[in-house]
Amino acid sequence: MASGTDGSMISISRLSPLVLTTAIFLGIIAPRNAQAEPLIADLSDHLVAITTGFTGTELLLFGSIEEDGDVIVVVHGPPTDVTVRRKERIAGIWMNRDSMTFEETPSFYHVAMTQGATEGLPLPVLHRHQIGAQNIRMIAPQGEDPVEIENFRSSLIRNQQAHGLYSAVPGTIQKRGQRLFRTSVYFPANVPIGTYVIETLLARNGEIQSGQTTPLFVSKVGAGAQIFRIANTFPALHGILAIIVAMAAGFAANWVFRKLG
Amino acid sequence: MNIFLILGMGVGVGVLSGIFGVGGGFLLTPLLFFIGVPSPVAVGTQAGQIVATSVSGVMAHWRRGNVDFKMGTVLLIGGIVGSTFGVWLFALLRTLGQIDLVIKLSYVIFLGVIGALMLIESIKAMMRTKSGKAGTGRKLHEHNWLHGLPFKMRFRRSQLYISAFLPLAIGFLVGVLSAIMGVGGGFVMVPAMIYLLGMPTSVVVGTSLFQIIFVAANATFLQSYLNQTVDIVLALLLLIGSVIGAQFGTRLGAKLRGEHLRGLLAAMVLAVGIKIMLDLIIPPSDIYSLSFSSGVGH
C-alpha cells in the first residue's frame, strides 16, 4: 500500500508549494518521477503548529497521476479510545446510563475525492480503505448487542462530525487536466495533536490501483504547550507550580489593593 | 476560547464579590460551565483561583488581627482530609461518567438552599426596616447539644470552649465540597462558624479564609496530580479580571443598602441555580456524548 517515496516526498516538501506546483506544471519533476510512480502526492506543510491563538488552518494537498483515474484522499488522526455514553431520564433528570468504549478510533477523519470517485468501487474496497465516515474502522466492545453497537458507533461518528473532527460530506478534489490534482484539508481549532497519516489513493476500473501515505505532525508549540506538556508529564510538579503561581498572584493582588486603597 | 470573554467574566464576578463580600467561586464556576469549559476543568481551575483570592483576603484580615489561627488549624485538619477524600471521589465519579451530574446537582442544591435562605432573610430585614423596628440583637452564641460533645478545646480569640470534633467535621464537609464543586466553601463555612460554632462574626471571615487557602491549595495539587484538570492560564486570566473588578465592586457596594444587596445576591444565586437545574431537566439535543481517553489533546 505505502509506496517507498515517503522520504523523498518530505525533502521535496521543503520547497514552497508554489515552486513545486510550478515545477510539476513545467514538467521538471513530474516526468522523471512519474515514470516510476503512478501516483505522487504531497502536502503544502508537514507540520501543523498549534499556538495559543490557533484558530484552525488549511493545508493544500496536491499531486499528479500517471494515467487518468479517480483520486481519493483519506486523512486519519492518531488513534484513541473513545467512550460513548447515553443519557437517560431518571427521576426527571438526564443522566449518563449506558456506555460503550471503542478502541483505536481515529481522533480526526477527513475524506476528499474527485467527483464520482466511489461510484464504481465495491463496498469491501470502500470498507478496507475506510472511504466515507460510515466505513471508519474502530474496535467495538466484545459481546454486546450488534444493534446497540451500531447505535453507539453512529452516535460517535455523529458527535465527531458535530465537533468538526470527522468530515460529514466528502471534500472535493479538483483535477487540472488529466494529471494534476489538488484539494485542501481544513484542521479546526480543536484538532487533536499527534501523528496523522494521509492516504492518497488512485482508483480505476472499480479497484484501487495504487496509493501513497504521507505523514503529518500536529503539535502544540509556545508557552501554552509547555504548560500542557508539564501538566501531563509531571502532574505533581504542575500542581505545585499552580499553587505557587496562585499564591504569588494573591500576594500581588494584596499589594495592589494596599497601594490603591 | 476568547481571552477577553474570560477576562470580562473575571471582572464581572470581581465586581459582585466586591459588592457582596463573597469569594465569587460559586458563581464563577457555573459561568465557566455556561461558556463551555468542561465542568471538571472548571472545578479544578477554580480551586487555583481560590488560593489566590484567599491569600489576598487573609492578608487584609491578619493585619486587623481577625484570624483565629488555632481554630483555623483545627478546621484545616478536617479540611485537608475532606478535600483529599473529595478529589478521590471526584476521580471515581469521573471514571463512572457521573462527575458532570454530581457537580451540577451539588450546585443546584447548594445554590437553591442558600439563595432561598438569603432571600427570606433579606425580605424579612426589608420588612423590618419598613415597619420601623430595629433588628433584634443575637446572643454571642447559643448553647445546644453540639456543645456537649467530648474532647473539648479552648479557642481564645474566638472566646470558645467546645469539642474539637465540631470544627473537624465542618472542615471535612467544606473540604469535600471544595474539591467537588471548585468553591472555597466560604458560603457554607461562614454560616456554620457563626450558627453552629458560635464564633464572633469579626473573626469568622479571616479564619475561614485562612483555612480555605490550604484546603484549596490541597485541592489544586490533587486535582492537578490525579485528574490533570487545572488550567493555570485560565486561572490567571480569571484572577486578573476579578482583582480589577473587586476594586469597582467595593466602591459600588458602599453606595447600596445592605438588605437590598443581600436580596440582589440571593436572586442572582437562585437564578444561576435554576439555570443549571434546567440544563439537567431539558432533554439534551443529543443524548449520546463522548469522552476521550487522556493523551489526545482537545
pLDDT value for B282? 86
- Which residue of chain A comes nearest to B102, CA vs CA? A95
Which residues on A lie below 8 Å from B239 (Cβ)? Answer: 246, 249, 253
Q: Is A254 on the interface with B (CB under 8 A)?
A: yes
pLDDT in tens, A26-42: 444 444 444 557 889 99
Query: Residue A231 and residue B224: Cβ atoms within 8 Å?
Result: yes
Domain that holds residue A242: 222-261
Residues A104 and A149 placed together within one structural domain of the fold: yes
CATH number at residue A163: 2.60.40.1930
pLDDT in tens, B41-55: 888 888 888 888 788
Min Cα distance A132 → chain B (Å) is 21
Q: Which of A179-188, A222-231, B216-225 has the highest mean pLDDT?
A: A179-188
Does the residue A175 lie in any domain?
A: yes
Count chain A–chain B contacts defined by CB atoms under 8 A: 164
pLDDT confidence tier of residue B293, bands split at 50, 70 and 90 = low
| pLDDT greater at residue B100 or residue A81 | A81
Q: Is A81 on the interface with B (CB under 8 A)?
A: yes
**Count of alpha carbons within 13 Å of B265, Cβ hemisphere only?**
28
| pLDDT greater at residue A152 or residue B235 | A152
Q: Among candidates A132, A136, A76, A117, which has minimal Cα distance to A209?
A: A117
Residues A104 and A142 placed together within one structural domain of the fold: yes
Min Cα distance A85 → chain B (Å) is 5
Amino acid identity for residue A121 in this structure: L
Which residues on A lie below 8 Å from B286 (Cβ)? Answer: 155, 158-159, 162
pLDDT confidence tier of residue A130, bands split at 50, 70 and 90 = very high
Residue A179: left (phi > 0), alpha (psi -120 to 50), or beta?
alpha
Cβ neighbours of residue B110 under 8 Å, at least 6 residues apart? B26, B177, B181, B187, B188, B273
pLDDT in tens, B244-286: 777 777 777 777 776 777 788 788 888 888 988 888 888 888 8
Residues A17 and A31 placed together within one structural domain of the fold: yes
Q: Closest to B60 (Cβ–Cβ): which among A232, A235, A254?
A: A254
Q: Closest to B243 (Cβ–Cβ): which among A240, A242, A253?
A: A253
Chain-centre distance for alpha carbon A193: 9
Q: What are phi and psi of A108, to 5 degrees?
A: -145, 145
Q: Residue A95 and residue A24: Cα distance in Å, rounded? A: 57
Residues A193 and A239 placed together within one structural domain of the fold: no
**Interface predicted TM-score (ipTM):** 0.72
pLDDT value for B252? 76
Give me chain A's average pLDDT, please. 82
Give me chain B's average pLDDT, please. 79
Residues A167 and A258 placed together within one structural domain of the fold: no
pLDDT value for B185? 74
Residues A214 and A133 placed together within one structural domain of the fold: yes
Which residues on A lie below 8 Å from B232 (Cβ)? Answer: 227, 238, 241-242, 245
In a mutagenesis test of the B interface, which of A50, A152, A243, A255 is the best target, namely the one with the most B β-carbons within 10 Å?
Answer: A243
Residues A241 and A215 placed together within one structural domain of the fold: no
- Which residue of chain B comes nearest to A242, CA vs CA? B232
Residues A176 and A230 placed together within one structural domain of the fold: no
Percent pLDDT > 70 in chain B is: 89
Q: Among candidates A110, A99, A129, A96, which has minimal Cα distance to A1?
A: A129
Q: Residue A150 and residue B187: Cα distance in Å, rounded? A: 47
Q: Is A58 on the interface with B (CB under 8 A)?
A: no
Does the residue A194 lie in any domain?
A: yes
Residues 97-156 of A with CB under 8 A from B: 99, 107, 152, 155-156
pLDDT value for A17? 55
The lowest-confidence range among A2-16, A234-248, B184-198 is A2-16
Work out the average pLDDT over A60-74: 91
Number of structural domains (chain A) is 2
pLDDT value for A61? 94
The lowest-confidence range among A1-15, A151-165, B119-133 is A1-15
Work out the average pLDDT over A190-218: 90
Query: Residue A87 and residue B60: Cβ atoms within 8 Å?
Result: no
Q: Is A230 on the interface with B (CB under 8 A)?
A: no
Grid cell locating A40: 505522487
DSSP code of residue A166: B
pLDDT in tens, A211-249: 999 999 998 777 667 777 777 788 888 888 888 988 888
Query: Residue A239 and residue B221: Cβ atoms within 8 Å?
Result: yes
| pLDDT greater at residue A84 or residue B231 | A84
Full-model pTM: 0.67
Residues A145 and A171 placed together within one structural domain of the fold: yes
In a mutagenesis test of the A interface, which of B104, B222, B289 is the best target, namely the one with the most A β-carbons within 10 Å?
Answer: B289
pLDDT in tens, B111-140: 888 888 878 878 887 888 777 654 444 444
Residues 5-24 of A with CB under 8 A from B: none
Residues A66 and A80 placed together within one structural domain of the fold: yes
pLDDT value for B100? 82
Q: What are phi and psi of A104, to 5 degrees?
A: 60, 35
pLDDT in tens, B53-104: 788 778 877 877 878 888 889 999 999 999 899 988 988 888 888 888 888 8
pLDDT value for B124? 84
pLDDT value for B164? 82
pLDDT value for B210? 86
DSSP string, B192-218: IIIIII---HHHHHHHHHHHHHHHHHH
pLDDT in tens, B140-176: 445 566 666 667 778 877 777 888 888 899 899 888 8
pLDDT value for A3? 41
Residues A181 and A255 placed together within one structural domain of the fold: no
Which residues on B lie below 8 Å from A234 (Cβ)? Answer: none
Residues A245 and A119 placed together within one structural domain of the fold: no
How far from B205 is each of A39, A141, B148, B163, B185, CA to CA, in Å?
73, 53, 25, 21, 12
Work out the average pLDDT over B12-23: 74
pLDDT confidence tier of residue B291, bands split at 50, 70 and 90 = confident
Query: Residue B298 and residue A96: Cβ atoms within 8 Å?
Result: no
